[in-house]
Chain A
C-alpha cells in the first residue's frame, strides 16, 4: 500500500502521514452540483471541522 507523505512546512524534518485525501471531488445531486472539485488532505491524528451554513450539503463530505 502506498502511503502519501507530505513535508511539514513548518518543520521540514517532520513528515505528515495523510489519513484522508480528497482529490478533485465533485458531487452532483438531483442535477445540482453540491461539491465542486474539492482537494483536501487530512493529516493523521488531526481534528478537522467542515463548517458551513445549514443546507450546504456538509454531510455529503462524510456520508
Chain B
C-alpha cells in the first residue's frame, strides 16, 4: 500500500505529509525490492538498473553514469554487461537493490529481500543492507518473517499479528519487554510460566504459578498488579546451580537433556513442580552429571537486567539480588489486550 500497487480499503497513507492515495506507483518516491528480484531477463545488468531512468527519458550518458554508481554501491560494477541468467541469486538480489537505489528514492521497501538466499549469503547481505542504509540516509522499510533479520537490521520493529500491530518498539525493547504473550513467544526462545498475582511488594510482585511455583517478579511500568499473568523468562537469564538452594526464585529440578550449540549449551530442565524449562548455559560452564540425571538438583535464577549492573564480577554466579522478572505494560492495541488478558507479565 505504501508503494501503491495496492490501495487500502479505508484510511490514509501519507508520504512526507502528503496523501498519496491518488498517486500511481511509478510517481511515488518509493522503490521496492521484491523477493523474486523481478529483473528483466532480456536486459543486461546495467540496462536493468537504468531502466527507470530510461522511462523517464534521462540522457543516455547520465543513465550510464548513474547505473555504474548504483552498481558500485552494491559491489556489482564488474557485472554490468551480464544478463540476469548469468548471475547467482545473491548477485541478482544486489542488482535489484541497485535498481531500487538509482534514483535515490525517499523510501526503499524491501519485501522479504533475502528470503531466497542461503544462510551465509543472507548474513552477508544483511551487513550490506545495514551499511547501505547508513551510507545513503534513505528510509528503509523491511517486511520479513525472520526475527533475527528484523532485530539485527532495523531501528524499530513492528510485530504484526491478526492484522494489527501487536507491538512497535526498538529491537531490544521487543526482546526484553514483550508487550504480549504472542510477542514473547514469537521473538527468540523463552519460558512462559502462567500464574496468578498473589501479592505486591515494593516494586515487586509475587506470582504463584499454576503448579505452585512462587516467583518474585519486577513489573514493567504500566503493567497490571493483579489477575492472571504469564511470566516470561528468557533461557539466558536462568542460572543453573549444582547445589539446590532455598534462595528466592531458585527451584529444584532435574537436568533432562543437553544440546551442544558451539557457543552455548541448551539444557532442558524439569522442575520438581512439573514445569519444563529451557536454560542456556555458556559453553564450558559446569553442569550436573548427565549420567545420573535423577541425582542432580539444579536450581534456577533469573537475574533481572536492572540488578545486573549491581553485580560484582566475582558474584556473577550468585546474584546479590534475587530475580526480578518484569511485567510488561499492557499491549497497546485494544483487541490484543482483550485477547491476551491472561498474559501481560514478562520477565526481564
Contact = CB atoms under 8 A, between A and B. Distances in A.
A binds B: yes
Interface of A: 1-4, 17-28, 33-38, 40, 42-54, 56-63
A55 to B, nearest CB: 9
A61 B1 contact: yes
B8 A51 contact: no
Given A19-B106, A24-B10, A49 B156 contact: yes
A11 B348 CA distance: 26
Contacts of B314: none
Contact of A17 (B16, B137, B157, B159): B16
A23 B15 CA distance: 11
Contacts of A25: 1, 8, 10-13
Contact of B13 (A21, A37, A52): A21
B109 A19 contact: no
Given A18-B17, A50-B144, A62-B2, 9 more contacts: A23-B11, A24-B10, A36-B162, A36-B164, A40-B168, A53-B161, A57-B163, A58-B144, A62-B1
B311 interface: no
A20 B15 contact: yes
Contacts of B111: 59, 62-63
Given A19-B139, A27-B1, A46 B156 contact: yes
Interface in B9-32: 9-18, 32
A60 B141 CA distance: 13
B159 A48 contact: no
Contacts of A20: 2, 13-15, 107, 139, 141
Nearest to B142: A49
Contacts of B5: 63
A47 B140 contact: yes
A18 B145 CA distance: 25
Contacts of A28: 9
Interface string B263-274: 000000000000
- Chain A facing B: main interface SS: strand
Given A20-B2, A34-B163, A62 B141 contact: yes
Given A2-B18, A48-B158, A62 B109 contact: yes
B1 A48 contact: no
Contacts of A3: 16-17
Contacts of A1: 16-18
B133 interface: yes
29 contacts: A2-B17, A19-B107, A20-B13, A20-B141, A21-B15, A23-B12, A24-B12, A25-B10, A28-B9, A34-B163, A35-B1, A36-B335, A40-B158, A42-B139, A46-B139, A46-B155, A47-B140, A48-B139, A48-B140, A48-B157, A50-B144, A51-B144, A51-B147, A51-B157, A51-B160, A53-B161, A53-B186, A61-B2, A62-B143
A32 B347 CA distance: 35
Contacts of B138: 45
Contact of B9 (A21, A26, A63): A26
Contacts of B13: 20-23, 25
A43 to B, nearest CB: 8
> Quick one: which of A4, A42, A54 has the most chain B CB within 10 A?
A42
